[in-house]
Amino acid sequence: MGLAGGALIGAAAVLLMLANGRIMGIAGIVGGLAQEPRSTDTAWRLAFLAGMAVPAVIASALGLFPVPAQMGLGMVLVAGFLVGFGSRMANGCTSGHGICGLARLSPRSLAAVATFMAVAGVTVFVIRHVLGGV
Amino acid sequence: MTRQISAFAAGLLFGCGLLVSGMADSARVLGFLDLFGIWDPTLAFVMGGGLTVTFLGYQWCLRRSGPLCAVHYQIPQRHDVDARLFVGASLFGIGWGLVGYCPGPALLAGAAGLGTALWFCLAMGAGILCWRLLERNSWLPAKAVKG
């Protein structure tokens, strides 16, 4: 399933490039909406998010959407803030750098992916094996 | 209008991909990031499948004179690896490792109405706006070149 799902994500990235000439980066799409709401790009960015919502709503209605483990609200808020702030600061997230950037063999994306993968791995290690939580 | 339709279709594919692949499952993502626990390799396959399709697809796209519904391709041109990239990617990595959501899956789970994800998305929005304010007011050294 991982491979098939990955291929779908890749197909989405290729479609957005082929049709609109754009990189499929979620941080960029959401950040673009926040940064330049009156841009001519706003309509397609919203359309992309609307498209994303469809499978989420269907899966949720069927009770198939994976539910996250219980965690403290404080941690969720801190994590969300860091993800939003950090991905904009680094000009990309898992989709923009991890899929589109690496596929373009961009050195910036390689550096970003290596960094966030390593840091995320260390974070999980500290929480699970040092602090013994989650 | 064609640009909106193609973007909607891309969003639909992307959302399905996140769901099918397990990326929308934060427990699974944390399992992948946890190399010293019971390691779940699934996401390596997601990355492999995604990268292969995107790499080949991009090669094919960029051989064409331009995109179908827009004037030209907008590809980031920067190649410099600066401190901002490392600091930003590190902060992002901490947040990702804490909860297991990156922006795409967080939005997807938010759209599915999960409470944790809605709070996460709210905070993510605050983080995005906070970065925008910092950058806009040039409180930071050397304004980033849009890439």
Burial class (CB in 10 A: 0-12, 13-18, 19+), A88: buried
- B55: which residues sit within 8 A by CB, 6+ positions away? A103
Whether B85 sits inside 8 A of A59 (CB atoms) is no
Residue A14 with chain B: CB contacts under 8 Å: 53-54, 57-58, 60-61
Residues B1 and B64 in one domain: yes
- How many domains does chain B divide into? 2
Cβ–Cβ < 8 Å for A87, B103:
yes
pLDDT band for A35, please (50, 70, 90 cuts).
confident
Residues in chain B with CB shorter than 8 Å from the CB of A28 are none
Interface residue B32 vs chain A (CB under 8 A): no
In this prediction, residue B140 carries a pLDDT of: 62
Last residue of a domain, one of B54, B75, B96: B75
Substitution target from B35, B65, B81, B91 for chain A, most A beta carbons within 10 A = B91
CB of B98 within 8 Å of a chain A CB? The answer is yes
Mean pLDDT across the stretch A106-130? 96
Report yes or no: B86 and A119 within 8 Å, Cβ to Cβ.
no
Q: Does residue A4 have a pLDDT over 70?
A: yes
Mean pLDDT for all residues in chain A: 94
CB B92 within 8 A of CB A116: yes
Looking at the predicted structure, is the pLDDT value of residue A55 above 50? yes
CA contacts within 13 A on the Cβ side of A6? 22
Structural domain boundaries enclosing B15: 1-75
Measure B58 CA to nearest chain A CA, in Å: 6
- Percent of chain A exceeding pLDDT 70 equals 99
User: What pLDDT is recorded for position B141?
Assistant: 59
Burial class (CB in 10 A: 0-12, 13-18, 19+), B141: exposed
* Statement: residue B147 has pLDDT above 50: no
Q: Which of B39, B8, B26, B12 is nearest to B100 (CA)?
A: B26
pLDDT surpassing 80 at residue B145: no
C-alpha pair distances (Å), B74 with each of A18, A107, B77, B81, B146: 11, 17, 9, 20, 12
Label residue A92 left, alpha or beta by phi (over 0 means left) and psi (-120 to 50 means alpha): left
Among B75, B94, B115, the domain boundary falls at B75
DSSP type of residue A65: S
Neighbours of B38 (CB within 10 A): 6
Torsional sign, CA B17, B20, B21, B24: positive
Say what the pLDDT of residue A1 is: 86
Mutate to test the interface with B, among A124, A128, A129, A130 (most CBs of B within 10 A): A124
pLDDT digit string (tens) for B85-129?
999 999 999 999 999 999 999 999 999 999 999 999 999 999 999
pLDDT category, B37, cuts 50, 70, 90?
confident
> Which residue is it, tokens 């929480």?
A127
Of B40, B55, B75, which one is at a domain's C-terminal end?
B75
Using a CB–CB cutoff of 8 Å, tell me whether A72 touches chain B.
no
**pLDDT band per the 50, 70, 90 thresholds, residue B135:** confident
DSSP for B97-113 reads HHHS--HHHHHHHHHTT
Cα A66–chain centre separation: 17
Q: Where are the domains of chain A?
A: 2-130
Smallest Cα distance from A60 to chain B, Å: 5
**What is the dihedral sign for C-alpha B105, B110, B115, B119?**
positive
Residue B133 has pLDDT above 80, yes or no: yes
Which one, of A20, A78, A117, A115, lies nearest residue B126 by Cα? A78
Confidence band of B144 (pLDDT split at 50, 70, 90) = low
Q: Which residue has the tokens 């706003």?
A: A42
Q: Are residues B61 and B102 in the same domain?
A: no
A58 touches chain B (CB under 8 A): no
A8 in B contact zone (CB under 8 Å): yes
Strand spans (E) along B44-131 = none
Whether the predicted pLDDT of A23 surpasses 90: yes
Q: How far is B52 from chain A (nearest CA, A)?
A: 8
CB atoms within 10 A of CB A3: 18
Q: In terms of domains, do B56 and B115 share one?
A: no
One domain for residues B127 and B69: no
> How far apart are alpha carbons A28 and A22 in whole angstroms?
10
Mean pLDDT of A64-93: 95
Q: Which residue has the tokens 């910092």?
A: B134
The residue-averaged pLDDT of A51-66 equals 96
Q: Are residues B58 and B117 in the same domain?
A: no
At A132 the pLDDT is 79
Task: Give residue-wise pLDDT tens across range B45-84.
Answer: 999 999 999 999 999 998 999 999 999 999 999 889 999 9
Cα separations in angstroms, B80 against A108, A111, A114? 7, 10, 15
